[in-house]
């Protein structure tokens, strides 16, 4: 495991590992954990990139969503989680829950 040092960009850490190891699987809670091509892109663009890499999902790229926080929340808050109170966030989360 390599932790963040001077930058949050993961490319440097990925490259250093790939010099001496073969990576068979990436596990993360955000698409940016797998490849920097996902970084700083709007949701629509990330969907297109995901479609182009779909053969890696479930084998090379394993997504373990973080239920407490993450970029997935942007979809609940119309792409903007800032300026929304915790009470409003809670209401929006509950409105999206599906029961079975």
Instruction: State the DSSP string of 17-48.
Output: HHTT-----EEESSGGGT-GGGTT--HHHHHH
Same domain for 48 and 4 = yes
The whole-number pLDDT of residue 4 equals 83
Same domain for 47 and 2 = yes
Same domain for 84 and 73 = yes
Q: What is the pTM of this model?
A: 0.65
> What residues make up the domain containing 84?
68-100
Same domain for 15 and 60 = yes
Same domain for 57 and 26 = yes
Same domain for 54 and 6 = yes
Residues 42-80 as b/e (b if ≥16 CB within 10 A, e otherwise) read eeeebeeeeeebeeeeeeebeeeeeeeeeeebeeeeeee
Residue 45 CA to residue 52 CA, distance in Å, equals 11
Same domain for 21 and 56 = yes
Same domain for 44 and 13 = yes
Torsion, Cα of 63, 66, 69, 71 (10° steps) = 0
SS3 57: strand
- What domain count does the chain have? 2
pLDDT tens, residue order, the chain (100 aa) = 888 888 888 888 999 999 999 999 999 988 888 989 988 888 889 899 999 999 999 999 998 888 777 767 777 777 666 778 889 888 888 888 887 7
């Amino acid at each position: 495991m390599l932790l963040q040092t001077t930058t949050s960009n993961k490319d440097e850490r990925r490259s250093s590992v790939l010099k001496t190891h073969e990576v068979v699987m990436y596990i993360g809670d955000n698409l940016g954990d797998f490849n920097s091509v996902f970084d700083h892109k709007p949701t629509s663009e990330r969907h297109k990139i995901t479609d182009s890499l779909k053969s890696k999902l479930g084998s090379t790229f394993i997504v373990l969503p973080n239920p407490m926080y993450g970029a997935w929340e942007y979809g609940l808050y119309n792409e903007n989680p800032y300026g929304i109170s915790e009470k409003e966030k809670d209401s929006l989360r509950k409105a999206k829950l599906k029961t079975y």
